[in-house]
Structure 1
Amino acid sequence: MRICVSNSCADFASYRAERVKSLFNVDDGSRFELSVDLPIEGEDWKIGLVVGPSGSGKTSIGKVIFDDPAAMASFEWPADRPIIDCIAPAGRFDDATAALSAVGLGSVPAWLRPYSVLSNGERFRADLARIVCDRPPAVVVDEFTSVVDRQIARIGALAFGKAWRRTGGQAVLLSCHYDIIDWLGPDWILDTATGAFTGRYLRRRPSIELEIRQTGWGWWPYFEPHHYLKLPRMIAADCYVAFVQGEPVAHLAVSTRPGLVEARACRLVVMPEWQGAGVGMRFLNAVCAAWRRGENRYSKPMPTLFHTSHPGLAAALRRDPLWTQVSAPLHGGGVRKSNRATAGIYGGHFRAVQGFRYIEGIDIR
């Protein structure tokens, strides 16, 4: 495929325009022309990346690459509705929540806010969730990761790449940042700074090494604003925090059931800038595996129960062969079963809590 871009505007002759031409020996700034070879016709690919500095022709290439102006991603977000109502409004609720979780916007309170009040990072991921949920056969995303900090950009690129490859469509991403390449793992790259085309990018993405520390509740205030439920702290719980290069990224609390027959994990939180990278499941599995080996203050091997009403997390647990689902009640216990101090708050509420058991090393025949 040969792409030829020719953009033009008026050749201005104002005093300042003429002075600029004279000072910098520029005869004409009214034309921009670019020709590149993009050998992707007939190839099987899912994600392409056009990368280069600003003003190098990325957007112009994006407009013609599919020969369809409608392929350029552009969304209108109502100011009077939360984003959960705007993603696949005619589709299934689970599809919308799955798309939000898949691109790393797993913070449930953000789902209840309109797009206009979200942070730049949340808006970036909300846009990606609409693309993933709409599943267009071809889409071009301009300014990909340009408005977010680089940590969110790298993890967001990783999350979108994994989610998009499940849709079956073709996406071309336009970005001025090279640091997302290893995390995105595109099928091809066009560098508009040099005109170089790279097919089948096969480099392995950077690894994420977690350091897990057993702590008290001292780190919980850092994570609590990002937990989707507001509940008291677990009694007699051991807390674990995962760090990446000294930065706290995930939290989990583990207590025991009466008789020390099994453990119960709760308060799993992954910081927003790390959501979508698979950190949460690996962290949860590592802690539960340690308890299964007896690496706890009781020195007793125990399986672990985990309950959640988060649709994305429940789906991830169902996919993981180390877990099996053991319950799915549709509502909480009666008010009489609730603690007297919380009666009327937690009793009898409607919430589809799903229970899972970590089964690695357990004979379930």
Structure 2
Amino acid sequence: MTQPIVIAGSGLAGYNLAREFRKLDRDTPLMILSRDAAGFYSKPMLSNALSANKTAESLIMKSADKMAGEVLATIRPQVEIASVDRANRIVVLTSGERIAYRDLVLAIGADPIRLPIAGDGAADILSVNDLDDFARFAARLDGAKRVVVLGAGLIGCEFANDLLARGISPVVIDIAAWPLGRLLPEAAATWFRQQLEAAGVTFRMNTSATTVVRNGSAYRVTLDDGSVLDADLVLSAVGLRPRTALAHAAGLAVNRGIRVDRLLATSDAHIHALGDCAEVEGLVLPFVMPIMHQARALAATLAGKPTAIVYPAMPVVVKTPACPTVVCPPAANAEGSWHIAPAANGEAGVEAQFLAPDGALLGFTLLGAATARKQALTTQAPAALA
């Protein structure tokens, strides 16, 4: 009997891999192991679910049973892998059950980074990284008027914008000098900040939270500049750390993420990784488009046609309706400079292009009306991984 391909993880990475594989191979057994109920939902929708009047339940597009029928797989919800016996190609669950595999795919995602914050309220700080997290977060918003958001990156800004739909005044805190500090040049970030502040978001930049203490049913947040903020809720959105512990314990190569080659294979040829947990040639890209490209390439490889991953230019749409934003940052080691211009035809917006010394476009960011230029600039931008 052919052993199954076992996919650890039922998020966008795991399910999209299963879908792509079934387009190529209808016969090889598939098994999907999930730490949660294994319903299919789009994780990126969590950060704008409030304005869309979505609940945790309504975000689920298909149940585990429906997904099992769609991808012709055995789906095991509410299970967790304790270890991997690479020599015998067996995953061992925390229950002690042993499951043999032909190939194992780690699509296990990432964990929210937790800041070292003191105070008796620090343990109450919420983060939203999956559907269960969102359910807890939404339940705590009843009656809330003021929420402190730790982190002015992409997810922090998206949640801050989304909270406005509930009549909540978010205060966003970050040690960076401007919001979206890793994605926007200062001039563009200044315009972005002005639009969100006009909509009701408050930013406290160049500072961090040191202490969160309970204040009745609310919280008091002390910043490193000595100022104090009162909040009904504190949400942490300071970033994600790929889940590498299982791979490390199995003796696989890890760095920031689980290290894989262009075939998405780990240091064990029968174990692959994709999604938020995977590091491809130094790149960890926790976005939808890289996952889709990974899923198609790995599906072909697992179906018998080795296919190296290639990333085209992949602009990211930031879900901040108060300031529509598209980012396509240059490579970390790119040589060049930002060139800033207002949106065309006198419309409200900013276009920033990162140009090489020879004038070649290496990255861009578009705000407001300038987002209409997304497709035009994408065709000029270089591949993220050729």
TM-score if structure 2 supplies the norm length? 0.23
Larger proportion of strand: 2
Structure whose alpha-carbon radius of gyration is higher? 1
TM-score if structure 1 supplies the norm length? 0.24
Larger proportion of helix: 1
